[in-house]
Structure 1
Amino acid sequence: MGVVYKARDTKLGRPVALKFLPPEFSHDEQVKQRFIREAQAASATDHPNICPVHSIETTSDDQLFIVMAFCDGQTLKERLEQGSIPVDEGLWIAAQVADGLAKAHGQGVVHRDIKPGNLMLTEHGVRILDFGLAKFADSLQLTLAGSPLGTVAYMSPEQTRGEEIDARSDIWSLGVVLYQMLTGELPFKGGYPEAVSHAIRTEDPAPPRSKNADISIDADTFILRLLRKPLKERVQSAREAARGLRQLLGMTVPQDLQTQVIPVSRRSIVVLPFVNLTEGDDYFADGLTDEIITDLSSVRALRVISRTSSMRLKGRSDPLADIAANLGVQYLLEGSVRRSGSSLRVTTKLIDIASDSALWAHKYSGTTEDVFTIQESISRGIVDALHLVLSPRESERLLARPLDDIRAYESYLKAKQEMLTFTKDGLDRALAFLENSEQLVGENILLLSAKGHVHWQYVNAGVDNDPAHLERARVIAERILTLSPESEHGHRLRGLVLVHEGKIQEGIRSLRKALDIDPNDPDTLVWLCVFCGITGKAAAARPWAERLKAIDPLTPLFQVLPAVLATMDGKFDEAIEAFAPHYAGNLDNPGVRLAYGQALALGGRRDDARPIFESLSRDFPDSPFAHLGQFYAGAARSITPDVETALGGDAQYCWFIADAYALAGDGASAIKWLERGAKLGFINYPLLATHDPFLKPLRGDPAFISLMTDIKHHWESFSL
């Protein structure tokens, strides 16, 4: 109800949100005063999960508006447009909403319009929006028929009947929101508002567990209690709802739910690189670290720091408390590995930083053949020590042994190390190791996945653009999915191949499927962010970028993803601000230098960008990025065949090259590269048609107009 603007409070120097009520609501003085009283009551509710109201003001023409805190984030409605939410994440969101409601209800304030559009997901937690506004709308006697279909879907039975309501109506609405988060569907449906309200009053919802097997029996029962039609049978208070939701998550329930919120970081862990006590066996200790991280990452209730951030701590002696603080985790696992011939000894210790004590420790002795049992025991020991409740799928993944031959496993670990070199020689060696493993165990999904990624990486890294590599990767992906249709490896590889083939919408859907299966895979998250950016859907990718920063906080490249997304969104000042604090940590990455320089240039700061472009030639003289940097800086008038070969197969770099040609005044070449990028999936219509200042001279060109018409069609029809 009303229009919202972002503004700045010049007196206090803070961002705020201004919500203007429709002019007709300000004409009746009695109605206006009633609204002000309601908003004042809401503003008195101070809680971390409620967006505070600062003041109520009027314009010179007597139009009413509210000054609220600016909550930077994404509404739950926008998040749900990406699909259903993992069970534990949904339960945690609902618990925070219940916390805020408990505080408000305790002060006699009922929200009356709890729905995804009124729940903001921020980096500090959930914020409930629009307290007080719903009762004001009710006071104007708005009819059900005049209510939006989406709003009716969250109304309680008593609300649809026009009866007096109390706090239990908010409990019902919370139940509808939770049901939708976990199943991807609304419990009550209809083609028009009256049909939906009839279903709410007369029909029973399908058990949420029938829609999502990951929902536990206890969670299923609790959700249905939130949706009981008789008021006396429903969960009676938000306090009770908050307690129940925390118990489902296995969390400690605080005594005072109105003031204490359990931070997500209390359910987070870093697996420190296992110390190798045997000379020359680093790959084995690193591999064990990696596999335990993979095991734990399948547990949705646990935030697990990824391998790339974990391995950056290898060999460092920082105090454990400092490591935990820097990563925002509560638990650390440390361990060591000693091998002597076929004998193996592994020690582990799980540490709770808050109490500076070991929650669990164990020593394992055996042979190298026992490494899989040891790995499984360590992962299970951590889950048990943290009192985590696993879904059937999570339990199955934790017990899975994708490769149970030690010789094949060692070759696989060596291959993974070689893959990280991103060189032709390294990738060649990786293939040799993987083929050796296949000779020992035959066809295997883990080995197939690794081989497919090697072939894809030849093309992606620009070290060998032979089309046969992409074809082999495609065939491998299809073979994996034939063997295991629910393999995250297969869906991830298939998605990457499809994008390289220019089938970006299909590719993103495959990556989304991989993320549904493995929500904490950094590779899937980073590629989803990049592909959303080039398709003009950067806003949808921001939660993925924030999740990636949370699980991989020490990888500098991932910290600049929000800046890249802001660039793709045409928000160049925001991009520059987001790049600045992380640029120094990415000096060894020429792609980041180029992207930062481009953001500066797009934001009108070409003088600041020029030294960055010039530094690429100095520090990376043989890199295609160096030549492209010279092109941007005006030191070159076209790209070389080597640059075209190295970067011409990447949709984003096609846009970079088009911009450089536009700056050089070569509009025909710029349009040619935009066409090439569009074929590869760069369909970011708002950026190309409106925001990119370098393309302004082209916007009257008939060829550009025709291209934009085509891109606009693809952009408008594109969905995630």
Structure 2
Amino acid sequence: MPVLDGRYRLDRRIGTGGMSEVWCAHDEVLDRPVAIKLITLPYADRATVAAAVEQVRAEARAAARLAHPNIASVHDFGLAPVPDGPAAPYIVMELVDGQTLAGHLRGGALDWRIAARVCAEVSAALAAAHLHGIVHRDVKPANILLTPAGVKVLDFGIAAAIGQRDPVAEGEVVGTPAFVAPERLNGVGATPATDVYAVGVLLYVCLAGRLPWPVHAEPDRPLSHVYRPPEPLPTVAGLPADVAALCLRCLSADPAARPTGVAMALLLAAAVEAQVYVPVPGPDLSLPVRRHTETGQRWRARTALDAPTEAAGRHRAPG
């Protein structure tokens, strides 16, 4: 089997998507399993290739700074030789056992308690990224992994600095259209509020089993949430009114009306007596939190998630 940099043995490919593929690999130096995300660069002039490599390197560095129990860790970055082509950058990541939220949602809506716990941990992970000045930009079910130990937020590959605009043609955005906040479709740069909007869509889908807007045809989907308010949540047995209200607040067209990631994590966790880690500015960036009582207080708890019992799969495919 091929070995990258004399260290990472590629055992089997476990996913492909877009311009990347993910391999189950073995770190022969530290004797541990890892996931390798190998990026295929387009054939282009040297300057374009160099810029693409630096972009991947910057993304790997940004993700590596995020030490949080609900974020899949990044261990290393390197360049792999490719026959007759530019060296391909690769990112070495934590290999996580579990199934994506997208896989669980194929069976329909989740129990509201599971939905709240999942989105509480996603919110806590994103709050940690926001504290480091990083916005994910592509929160969606395929990027959320459910494991026996809790949620893992994956693929910070298109993460951006807060306020950064999308590096694409005018009228296009980075991310999955149905989860992109309406202000980003109008040219506003990514902010923590845009990630919170995506978690609101995620929570709605988990509770209702569908998107918050009627979609009559595929071309209609990217613009539905720009021109229409979200539909009311369907009746969900036992769902607390404040959780339903929180979901719709996250979907507000006004970014200032949305809660912060920390507030969302705390409120959802309190609704199901779950335990999450939320960030606190200062040297201790991931102080555990149990429940909210007064702004400015510190919290104590640990991360936990009672994962669904369905058979687990391996690391998700990229893209």
TM-score normalized with structure 1 length:
0.35
* Alignment partner of 1:50 is 2:84: no
- Relative distance call for 1:233 and 1:66 in structure 2 (3 A) is same
d(CA) in 1 for partners of 2:24, 2:275? 38
Q: Report the residue type matching 1:41 in the other structure.
A: A
* 1:146 Cα deviation after fit: 9.0
Q: What secondary structure is seen at the aligned counterpart in 1 of 2:239?
A: coil
Partners of 2:124 and 2:174 in 1: how far apart?
28
Of residues 62, 81, 86, the one that matches 1:41 is: 62
How many Å apart are 1:251 and its aligned residue? 5.1
- Offset at residue 17 of structure 1 (A): 1.0
Which of 64, 75, 78 is 2:100 aligned to?
A: 75
- 1:86 and 2:102 matched: no
Structure 2 counterpart of 1:259: 287
Specify the alignment match of 1:271 in structure 2: none
Deviations 1:40-60 (A, max 9, x none): 122111000000111121111
Cα distance, 1:219 vs structure 2: 1.2
1:544 matched to which residue of 2? 309
Distance 1:72 1:254, change over 3 A: closer
Aligned residues: 269
Structure (1/2) with the larger strand percentage: 2
1:207 equivalent in structure 2:
232
Structure 2: distance between partners of 1:138 and 1:25: 25
Aligned 8 A contact 1:56 1:64 in 2 = yes
SS of 1:198's equivalent in the other structure is: helix
Q: Assess if the C-alpha contact under 8 Å between 1:246 and 1:252 holds in 2.
A: yes
Residue 18 (1) aligns with residue 46 (2): no
Tell me if 1:178 matches 2:199: no
Higher relative contact order (CA 8 A, sep 6+): 2
Q: Distance in 1 between matches of 2:132 and 2:256?
A: 21
Q: Show the counterpart of 1:249.
A: 272
- TM-superposed CA distance for 1:157, in Å, is 0.7
Which secondary structure does the structure 1 equivalent of 2:22 belong to?
strand
Q: What pairs with 1:282-431 in structure 2 (closer than 5 Å)?
A: none
What letter corresponds to residue 57 of structure 2 in structure 1?
Answer: I
Letter in 2 for 1:241: M
How far apart, in 1, do the equivalents of 2:310 and 2:264 lie? 31
Q: Judge conservation of contact 2:135–2:191 (CA < 8 Å) in 1.
A: yes
Shift of 1:222: 0.9
CA separation of 1:109 and 1:252: change in aligned 2, threshold 3 A:
closer
% identity of equivalent residues? 29
CA distance in 2, matches of 1:193, 1:207: 22
Aligned to 2:91: 66
C-alpha distance in 2, partners of 1:187/1:178? Answer: 10
Q: By how many angstroms is 1:100 displaced?
A: 0.8
- Note the C-alpha offset of 1:116: 0.5
Of 217, 233, 242, which aligns to 2:241? Answer: 217
Which residue number in structure 1 is paired with residue 223 of structure 2?
198
CA distance in 2, matches of 1:88, 1:100: 19
AA in 1 matched with 2:309: W
**Cα drift, residue 229 of structure 1:** 0.8
The structure that has the greater radius of gyration is 1
Alignment map for 1:24-173 (pairs within 5 Å):
24=42, 28-61=49-82, 62-135=87-160, 140-141=167-168, 151-173=176-198
Query: More helix per residue: 1 or 2?
Result: 1
Taking the aligned partners of 2:170 and 2:108, their CA distance within structure 1 comes to 31
Residue 6 of structure 1 and its aligned partner are, at CA, apart by 1.1
Give the 5 Å matches for 1:506-655.
543-545=308-310
Distance 1:29 1:89 in 2: 44
5+ residue gaps, structure 2, are: 1-17, 281-285, 289-300, 314-319
CA contact (8 A) 2:165 2:190 kept: no
Q: Calculate the aligned-residue CA RMSD, in Å.
A: 3.0
Question: How many Å separate the matches in 2 of 1:247 and 1:24?
Answer: 47
Question: Which deviations, in whole Å up to 9, do the C-alpha atoms of 1:469-526 show, x marking residues without a partner?
Answer: xxxxxxxxxxxxxxxxxxxxxxxxxxxxxxxxxxxxxxxxxxxxxxxxxxxxxxxxxx
1:603-659 C-alpha deviation (Å, 9 max, x unpaired): xxxxxxxxxxxxxxxxxxxxxxxxxxxxxxxxxxxxxxxxxxxxxxxxxxxxxxxxx
Determine the C-alpha separation between the residues in 1 that align with 2:117 and 2:23. 29
- Aligned to 1:17, the other structure's residue is in SS state strand
Q: Is the contact between residue 188 and residue 199 of structure 1 (CA under 8 Å) also seen in structure 2?
A: yes
64 and 138 in structure 1: CA distance in 2 versus 1, 3 angstrom threshold: farther
| Cα 1:20–1:211 shift into 2, 3 Å | farther
Distance in 1, matches of 2:167 and 2:277, equals: 40
- Following superposition, the deviation at residue 188 of structure 1 comes to 2.8
Tell me: CA distance 1:255–1:115, structure 2 relative to 1, closer, same or farther (3 Å). Answer: closer
Amino acid at match of 1:54: H
Q: Residue 26 of structure 2 contacts residue 32 of structure 2 at CA under 8 Å; is this kept in 1? A: yes
In the alignment, the residues of structure 1 paired with residue 22 and residue 171 of structure 2 have an alpha-carbon distance, to the nearest angstrom, of 24
C-alpha offsets along residues 275-314 of structure 1, whole Å, 9 cap, x if unaligned? Answer: xxxxxxxxxxxxxxxxxxxxxxxxxxxx8xxxxxxxxxxx
Question: What secondary structure sits across from 1:60 in the alignment?
Answer: strand
Distance in structure 2 (CA, Å) of the matches to 1:544 and 1:144: 42
Q: Which residue identity is paired with 2:23? A: Y
1:232: Cα distance to partner? 1.3
1:120 counterpart SS class = strand
Partner amino acid, structure 2, of 1:32? V
Distance 1:13 1:173 in 2: 37
Cα distance 1:545–1:244, how it changes in 2: closer, same or farther (>3 A)?
A: closer
